[in-house]
Amino acid sequence: MEDIRNFCFIAHVDHGKSSLSSRILEITGNMGRENQIAALQTAKGEDDNNSFNTDNGQSQEASSKISKQREQISLLYDTLLHVIDTLSVEQERGITVKASTASLLYPHPSAVGEEGVLLLNMIDTPGHVDFGREVARSLSFVQGAILLLDATQGIQAQTWTVHERAKSMENPPELILAMTKIDLEAARPIDVALTVSEWLNHDDPDSIIPTSARSRIGIVELLDAVCTRVPPPKPLADDDGSIMRAQVVDSWYDERGVNCIVQILSGKLEEGDRLSIVAADSTDKQRQSYSIQEVGLVLPKSIRTSILQRGQMGYVRFGLKDPRQADPGTILIDSKNEGKEVIIPNRQNMDSTKSVLYASVHPEEEDGFEDLCEAVERLALNDKGLEVSKTADMGSNSSESGGPFLGPGLRVGFQGLLHVEVFRQRLTDEFGIDAVVTPPKVPYHLTFLPTKSNNITEPYTEVIEDLAEWPAYGTKFKVEEPMVGVRIMAPVEYTGAVMEVITKKRGLNLESTPLDEDTWIFEAQMPWAEVVVNFHDMLKNVTAGYGSLDTFEGNPSLMEAKLSKVDIQLNGESVGPLSFVSHTPNAQSEARIVCKKLQEVLPRQQFVVVIQAKADGKIIASERIRAYRKDVLTKSGKMVGGGDISRKKKLLEKQKKGKQRAQKGGKVTLSQAAFNSVISR
Ligand code: GTP
């Protein structure tokens, strides 16, 4: 345990985590001794040219450290390559590992073991707010976190959030502050360092490590900080080494079944032994036991080692078929010691985050429902923020049921709009499934009050996530909608425009503060439903792309509002999945936009398509799509019936009747573009 360091990266989206972790892999990774030494050499060479860091009087000491490291790496790789050679053919099977988790061997003076090598377990995390759950999950497995900032942008909206998340952990990780992209001309490392130390209560701006993944600057310094400042994981209080306990860090499903990345908390995990699963929320004493089939390290290529020791992170396969049994945070224990108490630090962070948006997902292919179900189930194993709440055989009245328009679908809860997009993309990229996702909805709280004309004796509240349950026009009820806190950072010149967008989207309690000379922070409470619809795009538009947005828990979490459900009808028939809720004063203008957009994106038919929007008992907007005009009077360029007038009339009459029939029973196919019309109103 002493020679182990568990750490992760946290940062605002696109601030360069993945690029920097790739560089770390390049230096420490499993890619051959020569390359590694070359990378290390380049890294050091570039560092010496970096004026931000040269006058600290460490360069001589640092370079003797580097040459010692080179020697150690060389020795290490002799050993490691030997291991790889002997294992490669039959043992290093193609196992798909999420690149986000890797173990690295790194020679360092702070190692206490004879080899002088530290095992670094590195967990990458996504930066976007929608994946906050993943960030919290990663933080719960580490003792150190590198908070990374883009040296051209400094603190951005999600920098706050991830920083606060790290600070609020039960056992907060050691925070290492670093900035990256300092190779860019627009980099302002000194300004960024000063702002960061002021706003994130970080005492010493000089200790923020400047790096560049592109120019390989500061990588060694960063690794050095991890090795010296991040403490090794603490052994479990009751650990005497005799009981194997491991925690699932990640899991995924492939053709060979469920694979888990685990962190060994005590004892050792060895092929041939048996283990049992202790689910995060289970008190079940009747646990099934499994034989451990394959165990190895992820360096970051998988290397079968047959055994994992305390503190190591690696993969394990034990014949598990049901992916849902291997959620991150799940504890594995050796079967002979089952029932021994398991004390896991930072356990509270494994709680599932409630979905904030719900949508239904339908296959584009008419008979693709089964394939879709299977793909979504597999995706849900990889993406813990997804909530697949119903494997729908939904009634045709439901807005989740496409009814005659979309066919059967799945109901899925998401963490935000980007999450929805990523989900759709992954269905296509990883499973070859094109899916239609209906516009996501927030859950509304409706309270029904007793009146003279209804049978209600006491007020009661219902939460509806499906607009088909919205009460009929004329019913008396009060609506509360979910609220969310938004934090926006934008350059000072866009202050007016940002405030206008927040107000337009019904933002409340707006506060603005200068962060530094160039940037302002805006905070407000907003209805979730408004943030979902187009808000991010509007913000990017009015700030020329410079505004960044993050969300936090709303206060209050619910707010009463005057809202109307807008039904969209095609040729008089309500299309549940296209309905939406608007703030009543905006219902008509939004309905007009949606009808207009639908007119543009719905395919033309043999018959006229009338698009109407209806709210509070009235039609409030309407558009028409003209029919294709089929020329029934000519055939192969010649006039049918030789120009006979009565024959012409007959043909036109026949065509008119045919169109009326088609219009009545006509089906309009709904594409993703149709649903996007509702999202971007
Ligand atoms: P998410 O995982 O999506 O949050 O992104 P990330 O934080 O992992 O950022 P990523 O590494 O994908 O980098 C974002 C962009 O910045 C990419 O276009 C990179 O090429 C660029 N980038 C990353 N590091 C550097 C750097 O050191 N210098 C320069 N010039 N560009 C960089």
**pLDDT per residue as tens digits for the range 250-292:** 887 777 888 888 999 888 999 999 998 876 555 555 567 899 9
* CA–CA distance, 522 with 512 (Å, rounded to integer): 4
- The per-residue pLDDT for 639 is 56
Confidence band for 76, pLDDT divided at 50, 70 and 90: very low
Indicate yes or no: pTM above 0.90. Answer: no
Q: Are 486 and 524 in contact (CB under 8 A)?
A: yes
Q: Are 374 and 427 in contact (CB under 8 A)?
A: no
In terms of pLDDT, which residue wins out, 634 or 382? 382
Cβ–ligand 1 contact at 214 (below 6 Å): yes
- The per-residue pLDDT for 127 is 52
Q: Which CATH architecture has domain 566-576+585-679?
A: 2-Layer Sandwich (3.30)
Pocket test for ligand 1, best of 14, 138, 192, 216 (most atoms within 8 A of CB): 14
- The per-residue pLDDT for 212 is 95
Q: Which CATH number fits domain 444-561: 3.90.1530.10, 3.30.70.20, 3.30.365.10, 3.30.70.240?
A: 3.30.70.240
The CATH number assigned to the domain with range 245-337 reads: 2.40.30.10
pLDDT tens for residues 380-405?
876 777 888 754 444 344 444 445 56
In this structure, are strands 357-363 and 435-437 parallel, antiparallel, or unpaired?
antiparallel
Cβ–ligand 1 contact at 17 (below 6 Å): yes
* CA–CA distance, 118 with 677 (Å, rounded to integer): 54
Nearest Cα to 551, choosing from 586, 578, 515, 524?
524
* CA–CA distance, 549 with 157 (Å, rounded to integer): 5
pLDDT tens for residues 182-215?
999 999 999 999 998 888 877 788 899 999 999 9
Nearest Cα to 160, choosing from 549, 546, 544, 557?
549
pLDDT above 70 covers a percentage of the chain that reads: 76
What's the 542 CA to ligand 1 centre distance in angstroms? 24
As beta bridge partners, residue 527 has 483
Cβ–ligand 1 contact at 22 (below 6 Å): no
- The per-residue pLDDT for 71 is 53
* CA–CA distance, 613 with 567 (Å, rounded to integer): 6
- The per-residue pLDDT for 55 is 37
What's the 178 CA to ligand 1 centre distance in angstroms? 14
- The per-residue pLDDT for 138 is 82
Location of structure tokens 């945070």: 329
- The per-residue pLDDT for 342 is 61
- The per-residue pLDDT for 331 is 86
Q: What would the mean pLDDT of 70-87 be, rounded to a whole number?
A: 40
pLDDT tens for residues 22-50?
888 877 754 444 454 454 444 444 444 44
Q: Are 158 and 130 in contact (CB under 8 A)?
A: no
Half-sphere CA count of 493, side-chain side, radius 13 A: 5
Location of structure tokens 């991040």: 230
* CA–CA distance, 193 with 176 (Å, rounded to integer): 13
What's the 67 CA to ligand 1 centre distance in angstroms? 29
Pocket test for ligand 1, best of 8, 13, 18, 219 (most atoms within 8 A of CB): 18
Nearest Cα to 380, choosing from 412, 358, 345?
412
- The per-residue pLDDT for 25 is 80
* CA–CA distance, 223 with 204 (Å, rounded to integer): 19
Give per-residue burial for 639-664: e unless 16+ CB within 10 Å, then b.
Answer: eeeeeeeeeeeeeeeebeeebeebbe
Q: Which CATH architecture has domain 4-31+80-229?
A: 3-Layer(aba) Sandwich (3.40)
Cβ–ligand 1 contact at 216 (below 6 Å): no
- The per-residue pLDDT for 132 is 65
pLDDT tens for residues 650-680?
766 766 655 554 444 456 667 777 777 777 7
Q: What would the mean pLDDT of 354-368 be, rounded to a whole number?
A: 83
Dihedral sign of CA atoms 446, 447, 452, 458 in order: positive
Ligand 1, atom 26: closest residue by C-alpha:
181
Binding residues: 11-18, 124-128, 180-183
Dihedral sign of CA atoms 130, 136, 139, 145 in order: positive
* CA–CA distance, 41 with 38 (Å, rounded to integer): 5
Q: How far is CA 355 from CA 104, 131, 348, 441, 465, in A?
A: 35, 11, 18, 11, 11
Cβ–ligand 1 contact at 512 (below 6 Å): no
Confidence band for 242, pLDDT divided at 50, 70 and 90: confident
- The per-residue pLDDT for 652 is 67
Q: What would the mean pLDDT of 484-501 be, rounded to a whole number?
A: 94
pLDDT tens for residues 419-478?
887 788 888 888 888 888 888 889 999 999 888 877 888 889 999 988 888 998 888 899
- The per-residue pLDDT for 461 is 93
Question: What is the DSSP-derived secondary structure letter of residue 519?
Answer: E
- The per-residue pLDDT for 634 is 59
In terms of pLDDT, which residue wins out, 221 or 134? 221
- Return mean pLDDT, the chain: 79
Judged by phi (left if over 0) then psi (alpha if -120 to 50, else beta), residue 534 lies in left
Q: What would the mean pLDDT of 5-18 be, rounded to a whole number?
A: 88
471 burial level (CB within 10 Å; 0-12, 13-18, 19+)? middle
Q: Are 181 and 212 in contact (CB under 8 A)?
A: yes
Q: Are 303 and 90 in contact (CB under 8 A)?
A: no
Phi, psi of 490 (to 5 degrees): -155, 150
Q: What would the mean pLDDT of 530-559 be, rounded to a whole number?
A: 88
Q: DSSP per residue over 286-326, as a string?
A: ---EEE--EEEEESSSEEE-SEE-TT-EEEEE-----GGGG
Q: What would the mean pLDDT of 109-123 be, rounded to a whole number?
A: 85
- The per-residue pLDDT for 347 is 52
Ligand 1, atom 23: closest residue by C-alpha:
16
Q: Are 613 and 596 in contact (CB under 8 A)?
A: no
Confidence band for 93, pLDDT divided at 50, 70 and 90: very low
Q: Are 587 and 574 in contact (CB under 8 A)?
A: no
User: Would the ipTM clear 0.90, i.e. be above it?
Assistant: yes
* CA–CA distance, 415 with 130 (Å, rounded to integer): 5
- The per-residue pLDDT for 397 is 41
- The per-residue pLDDT for 456 is 82
Cβ–ligand 1 contact at 129 (below 6 Å): no
Q: Are 484 and 557 in contact (CB under 8 A)?
A: no
* CA–CA distance, 133 with 449 (Å, rounded to integer): 37
Q: Let me know if the fold of 245-337 is the same as that of 566-576+585-679.
A: no
Superfamily of domain 357-437: Elongation Factor G (Translational Gtpase), domain 3 (3.30.70.870)
Provide the residue ranges of all domains of the chain, joining segments of one domain with +: 4-31+80-229, 245-337, 357-437, 444-561, 566-576+585-679
Neighbours of 636 (CB within 10 A): 5
* Of 132-136, 186-190, 539-543, 631-635, minimum mean pLDDT range: 631-635
What's the 216 CA to ligand 1 centre distance in angstroms? 13
Q: Which two tokens stand for residue 146?
A: 């590198």
pLDDT tens for residues 557-615?
999 999 999 999 998 888 888 899 999 999 999 999 999 999 998 888 888 889 999 99
State yes or no: pLDDT of 340 exceeds 70.
no
* CA–CA distance, 268 with 341 (Å, rounded to integer): 17
262 burial level (CB within 10 Å; 0-12, 13-18, 19+)? buried
Q: Which two tokens stand for residue 590?
A: 């939004």
State yes or no: pLDDT of 89 exceeds 50.
no
What's the 636 CA to ligand 1 centre distance in angstroms? 60
